[in-house]
Amino acid sequence: MTSETLTRHDQHGLYPEPRTVEDFCSNLATVQARIAAACQRVGRDPASVRLLPVSKTKPQASLSLAYAAGCRWLGENKVQEAFGKWESMQDLTDLHWSVIGHLQTNKAKLVARFASEFQALDSLRLAEALDRHLQAQGRSLDVFVQVNTSGEANKYGLNPEVVPAFIRQLSVFSALRVRGLMTLALFSAEAERVRQCFILLRQLRDQLQQCAPVGMELDALSMGMSGDFEIAIEEGATVVRVGQAIFGARALPDSHYWPTRFDPEAPR
């Protein structure tokens, strides 16, 4: 039955721009209803799925409306943009920031300053830099290891085979709290191929839980976005990262943000 769930990538570009707090409340309610329906299909408790609203590219006015509608976490994929938004909204002390995009080591210091969560950890150099800057500031950070589950050579994230050894090496970084794994599925209308990416991430997590370093829980699975989060939930997602279905379509095409992901021809 669940294998009939389709992707909704065709809706991208159609999500209308929310302009009021009520619009945000209604978009959030729609997404929560989709989450609940997916949970029901596989007998999961909707409370076991955390919705991370993704506000990248949207202006601060839009983020403020989302906050007024109840959002207390926002996901951003570019650190400079995220830092700027954090600076201008710092007075909202209960608003937390999750950086979900690839990070260059030289920007680790910035993330250490304001982020509560980082979902794209994919190198030891980066882990070391984050840990060092966090220690210096007396902060800590929840992290997810990004895994390349689609096998696309041009996509960020570690190959699944190297993840167990990588995770073992993270236990020395005491300012990093390793929560679990994150992935971006294949961007495809072929739901079964998308589903395979999510299954792979769940199986890897299950395998890691057998051999995780003491004190590391590794239960989180961050997978699924506006076009495919129902499938991700059916396969065990505990965090879904949803942008356009909450904040409206992005003005620029996805290839602008993920040149390597959506458009292999784009210059890098």
- The reply on whether position 63 binds ligand PLP by CB under 6 A is no
Among 5, 55, 226, 238, binds ligand PLP (CB under 6 A): 226
**225 in contact with ligand PLP (CB under 6 A):** yes
Of 227, 223, 258, the C-alpha closest to 240 is 223
Kindly write out the interface string for residues 79-108 of this chain, putting x where it contacts ligand PLP by CB under 6 A and - elsewhere: ---------------------xx-------
- 256 close to 41: Cβ distance less than 8 angstroms: no
CB of 79 to ligand PLP, least distance (A): 12
242 contacts ligand PLP (rule: CB under 6 A): yes
Contacts to ligand PLP from residues 165-224, by CB under 6 A: 184
Q: Which stretch binds ligand PLP (CB under 6 A): 28-36, 41-49, 149-157, 242-250?
A: 242-250
Nearer to ligand PLP by C-beta: 226 or 234?
Answer: 226
* Helix H or strand E segment including 25: helix 21-42
User: What is the smallest separation between the CB atom of 261 and ligand PLP, expressed in angstroms?
Assistant: 9
Nearer to ligand PLP (CB atom), residue 186 or residue 212: 186
How far CA 160 is from CA of 69, 75, 147, 185, in Å, comes to 38, 24, 6, 13
Is residue 166 classed exposed, middle or buried when 0-12, 13-18 and 19+ CB atoms within 10 A define those classes? middle
Q: Total residues at the site for ligand PLP (CB under 6 A)?
A: 14
Residue 257's Cβ-count burial label (10 Å; 0-12, 13-18, 19+) is middle
Give the contacts of 242 (CB within 8 A, at least 6 positions apart).
31, 51, 52, 53, 54, 224, 225, 226, 229
For residues 12 and 223, the answer to whether their CB atoms sit within 8 Å is no
56 lies in the binding site for ligand PLP (CB under 6 A): yes
Q: Does 241 bind ligand PLP (CB under 6 A)?
A: yes
The residue ranges that bind ligand PLP (CB under 6 A) are 54, 56, 77, 100-101, 184, 225-227, 241-245
